[in-house]
Structure 1
Amino acid sequence: MLGVQDNEALIPLGKDRNVNGYDPEASNPRVRFNSAISTENPSIQKNDVDDLESSKQLLQEDVISPGNLQHIPKDAQKPGVVTLLYGPPGSGKSHLARTIANENESTLFSICSSDFVSKCPVESEKRVVEVFKTSREKAPSLIFVDEIDSLCGHCGEGNESEARIKTELLVQMQGIGQNTGVRVIAATNKPYALDQAVRNLFDTRINVRLPDLEARLRALKAYLGGAPHELSGGDFEDFARQLEGFSYVDIAACVKEVLAEVTQVAKRAEFFIPVYGDDDGDLAVCNWIPCRSEEPGALRRTMNELAMEGFASRIVAPAVLRMDLQDVIARHSPSVSVEELEQYERFSEEFGKQG
């Protein structure tokens, strides 16, 4: 869904040390950073994030939309430039950041905290500086830092390299002004793990919650895509209710499993029925669907035999039935506990702006 990566600003350098022990990694912040910085111009449509609408609205208000209200000081109406997204894994935080970058027509710098880490502490610090420097060169831009808690934990935690990264991140984020064209969105699954100084730096802290009933319904249909199925609208609604507490990742895992199972049915099948197109009777233009031996028109074939006959691209998996998806969902549980969800709500009450 994302566009082609633009790494023109990243200079690939050699990896070898010279005979004097010179280490390029310690001297140039862009060494090995091609994979660490992903500058993207996302291509994401509005319908892709309807499920995250409330959180998206808050981001639009606090990250993008300038104020124009009478009797309110202009400084109080300026959009935020540093935002924290917190919530359970699989709730859509990364996708939300990409969407905001797209709608603000910004270049997205998508970075995992581990990308900053180097064996050389000074290099780690330089990498942070390089990200912010490049983002200003490509403004308007949005820096998305995932798993920020792993680098910005409470004081006394982490090694020297991580301490340098946290210090430099604080300096760089504090230095972002309204007119730089740079925004920062950080994400965490562990908001309470953040150091207080880091937490207080965020203009806005938004709880990105698990999908509600309507969002789960849309997610189920989206993940099934064009796969053949015999599910009614009522079936989808019933399954969406059963998936309460499931994240997007959990729902995707259920759908992936049921599709894998019906694929196995095709692989094990000993009978297939040819479904002809416009040219009835021409096996070259028909699809092959696994079936029981007693079905009218069933032919004894295996998947390997059909492939050897040149029909590999025309083998169609059987349709997903209600009982197929029901069996899979029954074997799965939400990956996020009730206790964890309660922690996110407590954090919202103490420090967050409700999403």
Structure 2
Amino acid sequence: MNLADIAENTRTGRENALLGDYETAMVYYQGVTQQIQRLISTLRDQERRHMWQQVKQEIVKEYEQVREINGILQSFKIESAGSPNGAFSAYGGGFDRGINFDHDPRHEQPTRDPDVWPPPTPVEQRPSPNVRGVQKGPPQRGVVNGKPGSRASNSRAGPNPGPARGRVGPSGGRDGSAGKGKKGEPTDEKKFEPQGHDKDLVEHLERDIVQRNPNVRWDDIASLTEAKKLLEEAVVLPLIVPDVFKGIRRPWKGVLMVGPPGTGKTLLAKAVATECGTTFFNVSTSSLTSKWHGESEKLVRLLFEMARFYAPSTVFIDEIDSICSKRGSGSEHEASRRVKSEILVQMDGVSGVDGEDPTKSVMVLAATNFPWDLDEALRRRLEKRIYIPLPDAAGRRQLLEINLKEVEVGSDVDLDKIAEMAEGYSGADITCVCRDAAMMSFRRRISGLRPDEVRNIPKHELTMPTTNEDFVEALKKVNKSVSQEDLEKYKKWMEEFGSV
């Protein structure tokens, strides 16, 4: 990426904005936004990506200001053209004079002093326009390779002269940058228009489903190397080398994570949202259910339409067995069956036809603790079925290190020995052991004291280092949450239906 082109186009856009040529300035700003977005997609260093994302936000902010000024100027011109007597409008350092030359004596207007301007025509106050991936309004000059080119239409079917369809979702930056968050910073995100849908349903999904950046990295998850590699292959690599993932190599459209509770399935999904740079839809049962007849199916269909609109995107359905259990049971309600059928129909169409651009794909990522309860048709659509096991000795040691980052540990603590003692514990169990051990010294210090006496104890006495005895005591109190019988059931299911 030629950084000199970015600097030159930015300078030219600003010069045109200062000279009052706002449409040309907008075209240059759009080109710069596209160039910066392409540059960000090639960067691997997180600090450099963050720096360029801030630069892009500043450029988008300038673009939005220029576009607002241009919109107000256009509204003045429209009002001037519709005035029967003609009017003067002055904005941006130039005068636009609209005079009615077709004077008709039959419609004589009241005489007035020609040297006095008429009162200004009221202009409707319009909200500041947001910068979206698809713009509406009069045609503007397009951008070719980041530079102004010929005039092009702004229709959805034609070339899009606006900012590049960045990897930014409705509530969070897909490239790691924040979307239009609490502070209201502008972004180049595109907006899903609820055509043919209830606007309230769209707002409900965007509020409850679209996940903001969970800030979970691969390094925050101990072990699970194979699961990380598979998720990177399914989500990350198709965005980096899209030419390879076509035809028979097309990305997986469904991945099912199976395993005991507390092994890190949901944490892996959050890491996908943070690391993979796609729009992330976090779906729960309550988000797709409604008391109104037929509305649950509408929510499912709308969810997948939004996912295709914001593609590349990932739809994560946690505890999927609560939504898509086996059909045909005697206790199954008709409404539940219709929702399951709609999910199956939508999943069959999420990846499009063979050879489609992988960057426009939608992947369904699901997690469950009860894979044997899933519907057979859903199991077929979740092409990759991977087992998330209990952590091994190295994984337990890494989990201890992650959980004890902010805890002062005594010199007598042997993490390798503690990891051996915690054999059979899940990741959540080990976290509970660390929390309980970290509280031991605090409990000893405040034993027998009243709350007002505890308040007067110095902080350093309340946060004494955690000793090896504290961990041994914690292991006695916190038992395993997964039985050997459960592990055998998972092993048997994976031998029959697994697809790693």
TM-score by length of 1: 0.75
Deviation at 1:321, TM superposition (A): 1.3
Aligned length: 303
Question: Which residue among 436, 447, 450 is the counterpart of 1:268?
Answer: 447
1:329 aligns with 2:475: yes
1:228-243 to structure 2, matched below 5 A, reads 228-232=408-412, 235-243=414-422
Range with greater deviation from structure 2 (72-81 or 50-59)? 72-81
- Name the residue aligned to 1:341: 487
Deviation at 1:106, TM superposition (A): 0.8
3-state SS of the aligned residue for 2:498? coil
CA distance in structure 2 between the aligned counterparts of 1:3 and 1:245, rounded to whole angstroms: 39
1:224 aligns with 2:404: yes
Indicate how the Cα distance of structure 1 residues 51 and 75 shifts in structure 2: closer, same or farther if over 3 A, else same: same
CA distance in structure 2 between the aligned counterparts of 1:208 and 1:34, rounded to whole angstroms: 30
Deviation at 1:127, TM superposition (A): 1.6
Indicate how the Cα distance of structure 1 residues 130 and 44 shifts in structure 2: closer, same or farther if over 3 A, else same: same
- Name the residue aligned to 1:254: 433
- Name the residue aligned to 1:107: 279
Sequence identity percentage: 31
Structure 1 contact 63–83 (Cα < 8 Å) conserved:
no
3-state SS of the aligned residue for 1:83? strand
Structure 1 contact 81–203 (Cα < 8 Å) conserved:
yes
CA distance in structure 1 between the aligned counterparts of 2:465 and 2:222, rounded to whole angstroms: 28
**Unaligned segments of structure 1, at least 5 residues:** 12-25, 271-301
Q: Deviations over 1:253-304 (max 9, x none)?
A: 112222233322333377xxxxxxxxxxxxxxxxxxxxxxxxxxxxxxx874
1:94 aligns with 2:274: no
Indicate how the Cα distance of structure 1 residues 267 and 138 shifts in structure 2: closer, same or farther if over 3 A, else same: farther
CA distance in structure 2 between the aligned counterparts of 1:252 and 1:51, rounded to whole angstroms: 15
1:130-209 to structure 2, matched below 5 A, reads 130-157=302-329, 158-177=332-351, 179=357, 180-209=360-389
3-state SS of the aligned residue for 1:205? strand
Structure 1 contact 30–130 (Cα < 8 Å) conserved:
yes
CA distance in structure 2 between the aligned counterparts of 1:334 and 1:170, rounded to whole angstroms: 36
Indicate how the Cα distance of structure 1 residues 113 and 139 shifts in structure 2: closer, same or farther if over 3 A, else same: same
Q: Deviations over 1:296-344 (max 9, x none)?
A: xxxxxx8745746xx7666542221111110110222211111111111
- Name the residue aligned to 1:75: 247
Q: Which amino acid aligns with 1:191?
A: P
Range with greater deviation from structure 2 (159-168 or 40-49)? 40-49
Q: Deviations over 1:194-252 (max 9, x none)?
A: 0111101112111111111111111112212222221546x211111111111111111
- Name the residue aligned to 2:424: 245
Indicate how the Cα distance of structure 1 residues 95 and 306 shifts in structure 2: closer, same or farther if over 3 A, else same: closer
Q: Which amino acid aligns with 1:61?
A: E
Q: Which amino acid aligns with 1:219?
A: L
> Could you list the runs of 4 or more consecutive aligned residues of structure 1 that deviate by over 4 angstroms after TM superposition?
2-11, 31-35, 311-315
Indicate how the Cα distance of structure 1 residues 3 and 74 shifts in structure 2: closer, same or farther if over 3 A, else same: closer
Structure 2 contact 281–315 (Cα < 8 Å) conserved:
yes
Indicate how the Cα distance of structure 1 residues 94 and 161 shifts in structure 2: closer, same or farther if over 3 A, else same: same
Relative contact order (alpha carbons < 8 A, sep ≥ 6): 1 or 2 greater? 1
CA distance in structure 2 between the aligned counterparts of 1:219 and 1:237, rounded to whole angstroms: 11
Indicate how the Cα distance of structure 1 residues 203 and 63 shifts in structure 2: closer, same or farther if over 3 A, else same: farther
Structure 2 contact 289–296 (Cα < 8 Å) conserved:
yes
Structure 1 contact 152–195 (Cα < 8 Å) conserved:
yes
Indicate how the Cα distance of structure 1 residues 231 and 245 shifts in structure 2: closer, same or farther if over 3 A, else same: farther
- Name the residue aligned to 1:16: none
CA distance in structure 2 between the aligned counterparts of 1:28 and 1:94, rounded to whole angstroms: 28
- Name the residue aligned to 1:298: none
Indicate how the Cα distance of structure 1 residues 219 and 104 shifts in structure 2: closer, same or farther if over 3 A, else same: same
Indicate how the Cα distance of structure 1 residues 98 and 6 shifts in structure 2: closer, same or farther if over 3 A, else same: farther
Q: Deviations over 1:8-29 (max 9, x none)?
A: 9699xxxxxxxxxxxxxx9953
Q: Which amino acid aligns with 1:323?
A: E
Q: CA RMSD in A?
A: 3.2
CA distance in structure 1 between the aligned counterparts of 2:177 and 2:447, rounded to whole angstroms: 38
Deviation at 1:60, TM superposition (A): 2.3
3-state SS of the aligned residue for 1:119? coil
Indicate how the Cα distance of structure 1 residues 81 and 148 shifts in structure 2: closer, same or farther if over 3 A, else same: same
3-state SS of the aligned residue for 1:38? coil
CA distance in structure 2 between the aligned counterparts of 1:222 and 1:127, rounded to whole angstroms: 39
Indicate how the Cα distance of structure 1 residues 31 and 64 shifts in structure 2: closer, same or farther if over 3 A, else same: closer
1:123 aligns with 2:286: no
Indicate how the Cα distance of structure 1 residues 232 and 142 shifts in structure 2: closer, same or farther if over 3 A, else same: farther
CA distance in structure 1 between the aligned counterparts of 2:422 and 2:348, rounded to whole angstroms: 41
Deviation at 1:61, TM superposition (A): 2.7
Q: Which amino acid aligns with 2:362?
A: V
Deviation at 1:50, TM superposition (A): 4.5
Deviation at 1:74, TM superposition (A): 5.4
1:47 aligns with 2:219: yes
CA distance in structure 2 between the aligned counterparts of 1:141 and 1:31, rounded to whole angstroms: 18
Question: Which residue among 317, 327, 350 is the counterpart of 2:496?
Answer: 350
CA distance in structure 2 between the aligned counterparts of 1:231 and 1:35, rounded to whole angstroms: 48
Structure having the higher Rg = 2
CA distance in structure 2 between the aligned counterparts of 1:251 and 1:7, rounded to whole angstroms: 35
TM-score by length of 2: 0.54
**Unaligned segments of structure 2, at least 5 residues:** 1-175, 183-190
CA distance in structure 1 between the aligned counterparts of 2:377 and 2:388, rounded to whole angstroms: 22
1:317 aligns with 2:463: yes
